[in-house]
A and B are shown apart, each in its own frame.
Chain A
Amino acid sequence: MAAFLELRNVSKSYGTGDKKVEVLKNINLTIEEGEFIAIVGFTGSGKTTLISLISGLIEPDEGEVLLKGKKITGPGPDRGVVFQNYSLLPWLSVQGNVELAVKQVFPKMSKIDRVNHSRKFIEMVNLTPALQKNPSQLSGGMRQRVSVARALAMDPEILLMDEPLSALDALTRGSLQIEIERIWNESKKTVMLITNDVDEGILLADRVIPLTPGPNATLGEEFKIGFSRPRDKAAINADSNFKKERNAIIKYLDEVGMHRSGSKGEAYALPDLQPIIKVNKLKRINR
């Protein structure tokens, strides 16, 4: 059987001529159905470009992205995206935002079914009390949960999360991480999480794949995370395997980061100059 999601030699660059920047180079990735993958990388390494490629918002220069063996040509509701900055429509209520997506994906659904379907997913992210509220009345964490509910309500084949928690404070992030794992367990969706937090990747994912720093970013060697599910943050933190994995990933990222800055650094030849102040004058100054 072919892989669920497959990226074959995908490259993407922005700009032309001298200003051309190769963001991603030769990305190869296969994801199996039901897997939870985390892509970890530095900021500016092209993580959002990678998500945009899979969601179909941009097209690769070379290579192809395959979902269930079919080439992706444009955005579609079979890939639910949770954007980094929530991207909720501020003129619609929580329910309105979710319903808009539901209506689009299931146009034949009756109004009552649509409402119930939306409520089910809002319930899943624990936002039922805020059904009729507008996004501006919600906190950052709540907004991100609405965004997750919207993506899930579309019943996508795969859930793409683009640094969903990076704009949140540490405490909210912790509780949402637990929630994301629970939702993943309940919905049994394939999830691809992009993050800059190594701990988050290890806590949530089956596989953590580092993205080397751009330009010419590519995927590094993967790290399989074998903790049993459901995972307990405290228990994992105390686990010696966690530290080992974490240090290995960070060490790897540091190495590729060092390699990049080392290769780029140029040695500047310093001019060989002598001061022209006369020696006796210098002595006077020193005195």
Chain B
Amino acid sequence: METKILNALKWSGLGFLEPLIKLIQGKEKDKNIRLVLRQIVVPVLSVFIFLGVCNFGASYLYNKERDIKIEKTRSVQGDAAAAQMAECIDSSDLSCKPNSLPSPADVKQGAISLWNDHKMISEKKSAFKEKTAAINKQRKEQGLKAITYTGRPSFVDQIITSLKTVFAGFLLAAFFAIPVGIVLGLSETLRSSINWIIQILKPVSPVVWLLLVSMVVKTVMANSDSDKAFIISFISVGFCSMWATLVNTTMGVSSVNPDYINVSKVLRLSVFSNIFKVILPASIPMIFTGLRITLSVAWMVLIAIELLAQSPGLGSFVWEEFQNGANDSNAKIIVAMFVIGFIGFMLDRVMMFIQKLISFEAK
């Protein structure tokens, strides 16, 4: 039972809690106290130090911005207006708050307001659904399209849209890069003939991919009324991120231990079972390393691509907030930054978990 819990922790990436559990049970006290200090206490402390540094930096920038603002008012409108401005700022009136790097407290406030906003919007949405339920039923019977909610998406909706885009892009990359990588890995002729193209295309910037994809999609789907922005952004994400998987799969397949190849030759395995019983299992660690890089690149690139493609999601959220310039916009951008970082981290963890399930190395 106990080992099961510990194993489950290890597998879910929470292995750092192990010494704490052992300490609670009173096992190997000295060793586990040291481990708890190193694996839990120190990291938590470092988070607080990080927040402190942020707070310090933010308040320094805030004061500087405040002085600049007052000085500007003085030079344009005179001393009386400047004094009034200083008073206004110090009374923490939002209308004259200097716009600088938000402090951790501001960021927390921003997160809360985003959450409240989400609750409000989802209430509106469900109210709308209730209202239109009857009409939609009628329209369905008449063969018309249902009326959908077209209001502003909340922050959580944006996250979900982004995740959808990234998964579509990731699947596209995986379904393209793994088979092609296997074929390239098996055939040296093909590998050397395509190598140049791969080497040239690999470092191309996401922005250029986006433009290229939109050139093609615009023509191909000229008469389609599907969501073009979504299609363009997920295809671009796929193209930008697939290279790691492609190169890793090729490498993995072409460098399978010759002993395993000899076994396959002596058994005279067919091409099919050679690939599925010997080559693929042997190169799974490499393929998964590639997939993990692909997923993290996809998530990183997604923000930039959404921002440019005007596809809804976290990227456009960040851009809209930046353009918006409200007094809590900066805080919301920072919230988005942490959410993006956290989701990226979780995605990597999920991939690691799947890799452990599939790969023979972990067993």
Contacts and interface: CB of A to CB of B under 8 A. Distances in A.
Nearest to A91: B360
B266 A55 contact: yes
B277 to A, nearest CB: 6
Contact of B363 (A77, A105, A136): A136
A100 B360 contact: no
Contact of B265 (A57, A91, A101, A105): A57
B267 A87 contact: no
In the complex, which range does the number of interface residues on chain A fall in? 20 to 34
In the complex, which range does the number of interface residues on chain B fall in? 10 to 19
Nearest to B270: A104
Contacts of A89: 260, 263, 277-278, 281-282
A89 B360 CA distance: 10
Nearest to A101: B267
Contacts of A101: 267
Contacts of B262: 57, 81, 83, 87
A134 interface: yes
Contact of B267 (A74, A90, A100): A100
Judged by DSSP, the binding face of B is helix
Interface in B256-294: 259-260, 262-263, 265-269, 273, 277-278, 281-282, 284
A130 to B, nearest CB: 15
B281 A91 contact: yes
A87 B268 contact: no
Nearest to B281: A91
A21 B13 CA distance: 53
Name the residue among B262, B267, B360 with the largest chain A CB count within 10 angstroms: B267
B277 A87 contact: no
Contacts of B360: 90-91, 134
B275 to A, nearest CB: 13
Interface of A: 55, 57, 74-77, 79-81, 83, 85, 87, 89-91, 100-101, 104-105, 134, 136, 154
11 contacts: A57-B266, A74-B265, A75-B266, A81-B262, A83-B263, A89-B277, A89-B282, A90-B360, A91-B360, A104-B267, A104-B273
Interface of B: 259-260, 262-263, 265-269, 273, 277-278, 281-282, 284, 360-361, 363
Closest 10 CB pairs of A and B: A91-B360, A87-B259, A91-B281, A75-B265, A104-B267, A75-B266, A87-B263, A81-B266, A90-B360, A101-B267
